[in-house]
Structure 1
C-alpha cells in the first residue's frame, strides 16, 4: 500500500501502553554479540514489534502484481519499500501474513489468484504503481470471481494520486488506501476483525453498495522511528535492499507526483543506523540503496548518518548508493560518501537545455550539473545521470542540446525516459488541457511506463521521434566518448530491454510513416476536385 501523503495522528499499531525504558537500546558501536544487539533493539519501548495483539489475528494476503514487460522486469530487482513497511506493521500488530510477490518470486496472475483461493485470507491487500494498476484490477476481479466475500484493499503510488478513482475504475476493490499505509492498514484490519464499519478511518476510501465513501485525509505520522523495520524476511533474498531515511520532497518539479508529499519528514540518524545494522546482521546484502528522493536534503543530518556508517564499521561490510540533487553537494559530502563506501551517486538532471530546466521548475543550472558530476568523479564515485525527453514545449533543437550535454558530462551510467503524465503531476493537468504543446495519445494506465511510454507526444516532436532520440542519447554518449567496449557490454547485458526499446521505436515510427503516406494519398485524391468547376487539371496547372 503506500508511503504516500495522507491522515490524523495515527493511533498505536494495536497494543498496550509502551513499556518502561529498560535502558537496553544500544548506543555507539561496542561490545555485545550481533544476536544480542538485535534483541536489545527490539526491546526499545517505541518499537511496535513489542506490542501484543488484542484480538485474534486477521489472515491477510499482500499482493505485488507481476511485471508486464521487459522494462518492468529490468527494474524489478529489489523489493518495494511500501509493501514491506505495511507487512512489518501488520505483523507487529499480530496478524498472520502471506506475501504473494509477482516480481521477485515470479508469481503469475494465475498463481496469485490460486494462492488466494487456496489460502482463504480474511483480507487481501494489493499495491500498485500506475502502470501496474490494470494488473491489480485484473487480480482483484479474478479473486472476486472465486471469493466474492473477501474484502480487497488497493494502495500504492497510483492510488495516492487518484484516490476514489481507483474504486470507480476497479470494481473488484472494496477499499483504497490513500496516504501512508502502515497505520491505516492496521486500523482497517482491526475494524474488519471487530466487524466495525471502517469507512471513517482517515485516508480510507470505501465502497458501500453503489456509493463510494471518502474519509478525511490522513496526515503523516509524527514519528517514523516507531515504525518497525521493513519485513525483508518475507521476500526472496536479493543482493540489493532499499532503505529510506526521510519521506517528502519540497521541490516543485512539474513531472513529479510528490507521492510522499512536499513536507520532508525525517527519521533520526540513530534509527537509520540501527536499521542498517539489522539489515547487515539478518539479510547480508551486498548493497544498500538509499531511496530518499534527495539524500542530503538536510545536510547536517545526512553527514551524521554517513559518519555513523563509518564509525560503526558498516562501510567495510556493504556498498551503498543514493540519489541526490546537484545543488546539494559539496566537497565534504562527496568525500564522506566515498569513505562510507558509496559506490554510485544518482543525479536527476532531466535536460541539457537551460530553458527547459526553468520550464519544469527543476531549480538547478547546467553549471551545477557539471560541477556535481566532476566532484563525484574526482572522489571516485560512479555517476548515474537521469534525463527525460518531452518537456513542455520541447523541440528537436532542445532535445539535441540534451544529447550533446549527456556526451559532454559523460556519466558512467545513463537513464533516459520519455515524459509520462502521471496522475497528480502538473504535467498531467497540462496534457489534459492540451498545454505545453502536448497531445495525449492514450488514457490507458498500462501505457504509463516512462521508459516505453506511449502516452504523450508534442506538436513539434512525435512519439516516434522521441523514442528514436531516446536511443540516440545512449549511442551518442558511448560513441562520442569512444566507450565502444562499454556500449557492447551494455547492449549484451540488457539485450531484452534494448530489443523492446528498439521494437517500440521502430513500430511507432512505422505507424507514423504509414499515417503520413495515407494522408498524402488522400490529399492527392482531393486535388482534382479543387479544379472541377473550371475543368482545369493539376497537369495543366
Structure 2
C-alpha cells in the first residue's frame, strides 16, 4: 500500500511535542520552545517499509507544511496515519477530514491516546475511518498487510475500531509486545533535511531520541501511561540497546534523549549497558527520565560516567499529603535524597510540578515553593493538572461532569494552562490556578541567584545560544503565557 505517516501542524500552538506513543504530552514556551523528532512515527514508518509498503513520513511542523499543502500531496495515497492525543484530537480529526475531501478512497487511521480511551467518540467524526488502540506497530503492520488483500479480513485485526453500516465496531486489544527486540532500529534518514529540532536539554548536536522500555507499574491517579502501555515494565535487551547506541555513533549522532518513563527500573540490564558504554568509551552523551525511588547514589555515578548529564523527575508536589492523594508512591524524603545524590554526582535535574491536585491549597503551593528551594533542581516546569481519559481522576471528575465523556473538552490552547473541571479536586479557583502557574515560573526563573548560576554554567558559544533561546521563551511565558 501507499501510506502517508503524518505529524500534522497545529494552528493554535507553535511547538507541539508528539514523541510519545500516546501522542502529544506538552507544548509551547513553557518548555523553552523545545521540539523533538516524532519517534513513534519514525519507528512505524521503518517497520511498514520493512513489510514492503510504500511509506512516506511527513513532519508538517518541521517542514512548514500547511493543511492546504498536505491536501495537494495526497494524490495516490491509499491511507494516512496520525498519532493523536486527547488534546490534539479535534484539530487532527479536522485535518483528516480535509485530506479525505480531495481523496475519496483514502483510509484515515488514528492511533494514540484519543482512540485508545475514547474509541467511539473518535469514530463519530466523519474524518476518521479506522482507529488503533494502545501500541500501534504490530496492529498497523497486520492492518495494512490485510488491507492489501482487499477482501475484508482487515476487520479481524485486534486493536482496531471501525465503522460498519452506521455502527461502531471496536475489537479487543492487541497483546502487548513482550519482546521489544522484535521492533526495528529507527531509520533516522527519514527525517526532513535541515529540520530544526531544538531542545534546551540537549547539549550536543545532532541528537536522536530513543525508547528502551515500555510500561509502568505506577498507580498515579493522573497518568494515562500505565493503562496505555501496561503496568509491567518491558525492556529491550542490553545487547539490543547497545547495538542501537553503536549505530547512533556510527551515523554521527552525539547525544540521545531517552524517552522512557521507566528507564531506570531495569537495574541489571542498565548496569550492563552503562558498564559497556564506559568500557568502549562510547562518544555518546544522554538524557533520561527516572522515577523517584528507582536510583541510588552509585546508580547515578555510573550513569554520569557513562555519559548521562540530565535527569527529569516527576516531583509533582512538595507536600506529602498531595503526593499521597495522587498515589504517587513516593515520599518527600525520597525526593530530597534523590536530588542530593544527583547534585553530588554532577548530573543536572528537572522537576515536573503540577498544581490543582486533589487537596491543593495556597498552603500546599507555598510548601512546594519552599521544597523546590531545598532540592534545587536545574530546571522546572509548572502546569495545571489535567484529568485525562483512562485515569482515575478523569472518572472522578466525570461523576460531577458526565459531559466530559461525551466530547473532547481539552485542546492545545488550554493544555496545562487552564483549569479543567478542577473545582471537583481542590479549593483553588480556575483564576487562582492560572495566576499561580505563571507566578511559579516567574519565582523560579527570575531569581537573581538562579540567573547567576546559569551564567556560571555557560562553557561555550553553543551553551550561550541554547540558554538565550530557551530562557527568553520561558520568561515570556511567565509573563504572557502561551
Q: TM-score range by the shorter chain?
A: 0.7 to 0.9
Kept after mapping to 1: 8 A contact 2:353/2:383: yes
Rounded to whole Å, the distance in 1 between the matches of 2:5 and 2:314 is 32
2:265 pairs with one of 294, 297, 306: 297
Secondary structure of the corresponding residue to residue 62 of structure 2: coil
Rounded to whole Å, the distance in 2 between the matches of 1:76 and 1:202 is 35
Structure-2 change in CA distance of 1:123 and 1:357 (3 Å): same
Correspondence for 2:436: 469
Structure-2 change in CA distance of 1:243 and 1:378 (3 Å): same
Rounded to whole Å, the distance in 2 between the matches of 1:63 and 1:480 is 41
Rounded to whole Å, the distance in 2 between the matches of 1:396 and 1:327 is 28
Residue 180 of structure 1: CA displacement? 1.3
Rounded to whole Å, the distance in 1 between the matches of 2:145 and 2:277 is 38
1:77 pairs with one of 17, 23, 35: 35
Residue 500 of structure 1: CA displacement? 4.8
Secondary structure of the corresponding residue to residue 117 of structure 2: helix
Output aligned runs, 1:222-233, within 5 Å.
222-233=178-189
Secondary structure of the corresponding residue to residue 428 of structure 2: coil
For structure 1, which runs of at least 5 residues remain unmatched after alignment? 1-57, 506-541
Structure-2 change in CA distance of 1:501 and 1:64 (3 Å): farther
Rounded to whole Å, the distance in 2 between the matches of 1:219 and 1:448 is 34
Identify which range, 378-387 or 78-87, moves more after superposition: 78-87
Kept after mapping to 1: 8 A contact 2:253/2:284: yes
Residue 492 of structure 1: CA displacement? 6.3
Correspondence for 1:188: 143
Correspondence for 2:470: 493
Residue 272 of structure 1: CA displacement? 0.7
Correspondence for 1:165: 121
Rounded to whole Å, the distance in 1 between the matches of 2:250 and 2:151 is 41
Secondary structure of the corresponding residue to residue 327 of structure 1: coil
Rounded to whole Å, the distance in 1 between the matches of 2:151 and 2:331 is 54
Kept after mapping to 1: 8 A contact 2:80/2:109: yes
* Structure exhibiting the larger radius of gyration computed from Cα positions: 1
1:112 aligns with 2:56: no
Correspondence for 2:4: 61
Structure-2 change in CA distance of 1:107 and 1:286 (3 Å): farther
Spell out, residue by residue over 1:190-218, the C-alpha distance to the aligned partner (whole angstroms, 9 max, x if none): 11111021111000101123121111211
Kept after mapping to 1: 8 A contact 2:87/2:415: no
Spell out, residue by residue over 1:203-243, the C-alpha distance to the aligned partner (whole angstroms, 9 max, x if none): 01011231211112111123211211123221136533211
Secondary structure of the corresponding residue to residue 199 of structure 1: helix
Identify which range, 65-74 or 186-195, moves more after superposition: 65-74
Correspondence for 1:29: none
Correspondence for 2:480: 503
2:102 pairs with one of 125, 146, 149: 146
Rounded to whole Å, the distance in 1 between the matches of 2:157 and 2:267 is 36
Spell out, residue by residue over 1:266-325, the C-alpha distance to the aligned partner (whole angstroms, 9 max, x if none): 21000011111112222x3332011111221121112112112222332xx221011112
Kept after mapping to 2: 8 A contact 1:390/1:466: yes
For structure 2, which runs of at least 5 residues remain unmatched after alignment? 17-26, 198-205, 456-463
2:159 pairs with one of 198, 203, 221: 203
1:363 aligns with 2:363: no
Let me know the Cα RMSD of the aligned residues. 2.4
Kept after mapping to 1: 8 A contact 2:41/2:57: no
Kept after mapping to 2: 8 A contact 1:123/1:150: yes
Rounded to whole Å, the distance in 2 between the matches of 1:448 and 1:144 is 25
Kept after mapping to 2: 8 A contact 1:64/1:128: no
1:308 aligns with 2:276: yes
1:378 aligns with 2:344: yes
Identify which range, 484-493 or 149-158, moves more after superposition: 484-493
Residue 128 of structure 1: CA displacement? 1.7
Rounded to whole Å, the distance in 2 between the matches of 1:450 and 1:278 is 36
Output aligned runs, 1:332-411, within 5 Å.
332-411=298-377
Rounded to whole Å, the distance in 1 between the matches of 2:322 and 2:395 is 18
Residue 389 of structure 1: CA displacement? 0.7
Residue 343 of structure 1: CA displacement? 1.0
Kept after mapping to 2: 8 A contact 1:419/1:450: no
Rounded to whole Å, the distance in 2 between the matches of 1:496 and 1:114 is 34
1:322 aligns with 2:265: no
Rounded to whole Å, the distance in 2 between the matches of 1:393 and 1:84 is 41
Spell out, residue by residue over 1:52-71, the C-alpha distance to the aligned partner (whole angstroms, 9 max, x if none): xxxxxx11111111143145
Correspondence for 1:52: none
Rounded to whole Å, the distance in 1 between the matches of 2:66 and 2:44 is 22
Structure-2 change in CA distance of 1:427 and 1:481 (3 Å): farther
1:413 aligns with 2:379: yes
Structure-2 change in CA distance of 1:374 and 1:267 (3 Å): same
Larger RCO (CA within 8 A; separation ≥ 6) = 2
Structure-2 change in CA distance of 1:270 and 1:177 (3 Å): same
Identify which range, 357-366 or 182-191, moves more after superposition: 182-191
1:255 pairs with one of 203, 208, 222: 222
Identify which range, 352-361 or 212-221, moves more after superposition: 212-221
Secondary structure of the corresponding residue to residue 98 of structure 1: strand
